Amino acid sequence: MLIKILTRIQSNNSRIFNSILLLILAGGLAYSFFLGDTLRFPDEKHYHLLASNLANGMGYTFDGIKPSAWRTPGYPIFLAFFIKLGCSIPLLRFLNFLALGGCLVLIRSILQLKRHSKGTPISAFLILAYPVLFYTAGTLYPQTIFTFFLVLLLRIIISPKYSYGHGAIFGFVSGILIMLHPTAIFIPPLMYLWKWFPNNWKIGLPALVSVFFLSLVFAPWVYRNYQVFHAFVPLSLHGGDTLYWGNNPKTDIDAWYKSITKDIEEETIGMTEVEENQHYRDLAIKFWVDHPKDAIKLYLKKLIHHFNHQNKFKVQSEFNIFKSLIMFITYYPLLALFTLRILISFKIPLGRTEILLVALYLASALFHAIFLTRIRFRLPYDVLLITHIGIMFSLLTKRMKIQYTPEHE
């Protein structure tokens, strides 16, 4: 029976993929206009305000006067371009669904490149059946665009013949990824470490090319910040407060916003963004120094919480039991399959691409636990997890017909 099901899926591989892609795009368009012009979360309003001011020629600022570097400029610049073209908020949302569809196309390309095209239908189905991806794409958050560029970066790095051209594109895309969200800072080094391991020394020169092109992406932003703030600001001035929110005696691993007390906010009155960022960073470091055991305990709690199926939103109207149940039902089977694959790796060794996907997923948990762990921060890596499951499905179909040989290309 199972073989018949697998055979039927494979015989309709392209049809299933195209149908799911069409469903995501059509459903995304309808959902974008259903939500209308309403921006439900504070961060959405921040991104849209920055983008609108950019599009209207007022610069990178919240109030139209005072320059800001509170957020990296990648997503606001992206939105500003389309606002300048006259796109409404629903159309700006739909751009996220186009990016989600693009992720499907890239995943198919990755699986085909590594001779795992049989896993394409299941990966496409899981993208569709993981509704939090659809929900997040309906917000003006950078996560969906970030996911597209993350999967694109994965597609570039796994290329068998990695040339200087690949290195240049990798560096440029890495710069865009980090400018979309600075938490991507660990991804390019980890990918190059994988590319080098165990002794691919030829990768050194393309890596230098990548660094050069990444620097070109960063240079205008760093120069602008130095001119405006007279300080070296390579990423954003939103790191210190985020670090403090996730590392202070009063924080909660779930409802972190409750640790923002009035007395702490009063301390920053009159400070510049640079001074405020430094102040919060110093408070977080002081917590680590004065309470090392509590800091370690809190880090471990956040690390476990990274894999939670729910968060308590600051906007309480967006949290309900039904959404939590859906997330529980759809996320933990993915995590269970991921765990199972690692457990059986002693019998069926992980291929090179699988090792990279596992490393990225686990490293993201370790990195985000330093700051805050939120489902939306994890979502891009959940898409990598779904890609990994596509490989697992392909291995299953092959193993039921022929003896499996680990992929090492």
Residue 405 has a pLDDT of 43
Side-chain half-sphere exposure of 60, counting CA atoms within 13 A: 19
Q: What is the pLDDT of residues 60-75, one digit of tens each?
A: 999 989 999 999 999 9
DSSP annotation of 186 = G
Query: What is the number of other CB atoms lying within 10 angstroms of the CB of residue 318?
Result: 13
Residue 266 has a pLDDT of 74
CA torsion angle 312 315 321 322 (round to 10): -130
Residue 395 has a pLDDT of 87
- Is residue 1 over pLDDT 60? no
The whole-number average pLDDT for the span 73-88 is 96
- Is residue 223 over pLDDT 80? yes
Residue 385 has a pLDDT of 97
Residue 199 has a pLDDT of 82
* Alpha carbon distance 239, 132 (integer Å): 26
Is the Cβ–Cβ distance between 380 and 150 less than 8 Å? Answer: yes
* Alpha carbon distance 389, 338 (integer Å): 7
Residue 314 has a pLDDT of 59
Task: Name the nearest CA neighbour of 77 among 217, 206, 274, 286.
Answer: 217
Q: What is the pLDDT of residues 325-338, one digit of tens each?
A: 999 999 999 999 99
Per the structure block, which two tokens stand in for 98?
């186009």
Assign 404 a pLDDT band (cuts: 50, 70, 90): very low
Can you spell out the DSSP letters for 333-359?
HHHHHHHHHHHTTTTSPPPHHHHHHHH
Q: Which residues, other chains included, contact 323 with Cβ-Cβ below 8 Å and sequence gap of 6+? A: 310
Is the Cβ–Cβ distance between 43 and 37 less than 8 Å? Answer: no
For the chain, percent helix, then strand, then coil, each to nearest 5?
A: 70, 0, 25
Task: Name the nearest CA neighbour of 388 among 154, 152, 199.
Answer: 154
Is the Cβ–Cβ distance between 53 and 59 less than 8 Å? Answer: yes
Q: What is the pLDDT of residues 341-375, one digit of tens each?
A: 999 998 889 999 999 999 999 999 999 999 988 89
Can you spell out the DSSP letters for 151-162?
HHHHHHHT-SS-
Residue 54 has a pLDDT of 96
Q: What is the pLDDT of residues 50-59, one digit of tens each?
A: 999 999 999 9
The whole-number average pLDDT for the span 144-153 is 98
By percentage, how much of the chain surpasses pLDDT 90? Answer: 74
Assign 4 a pLDDT band (cuts: 50, 70, 90): low
Per the structure block, which two tokens stand in for 391?
């490989």
Is the Cβ–Cβ distance between 100 and 94 less than 8 Å? Answer: no
By percentage, how much of the chain surpasses pLDDT 70? Answer: 90
Residue 402 has a pLDDT of 40
Residue 256 has a pLDDT of 61
Q: What is the pLDDT of residues 227-262, one digit of tens each?
A: 999 999 999 999 998 899 889 888 877 656 666 666
pTM of the model: 0.93
- Is residue 188 over pLDDT 90? yes
* Alpha carbon distance 269, 258 (integer Å): 19
Per the structure block, which two tokens stand in for 3?
């073989």
Assign 3 a pLDDT band (cuts: 50, 70, 90): low
Q: Report which residue type is found at 274.
A: V
Assign 406 a pLDDT band (cuts: 50, 70, 90): very low
The angle subtended at Cα 348 by Cα 343 and Cα 353, nearest 5°, is 90
Q: What is the mean pLDDT of the chain?
A: 90
Residue 214 has a pLDDT of 97
Q: Which residue has the higher pLDDT, 16 or 4?
A: 16
Q: What are residue 61's phi and psi, to 5 degrees? A: -155, 155
Does residue 398 sit in helix, strand or coil? Answer: helix
DSSP annotation of 61 = B
- Is residue 152 over pLDDT 60? yes
Helices 187-196, 164-180: inter-axial angle, 10-degree rounding: 150
* Alpha carbon distance 335, 351 (integer Å): 19
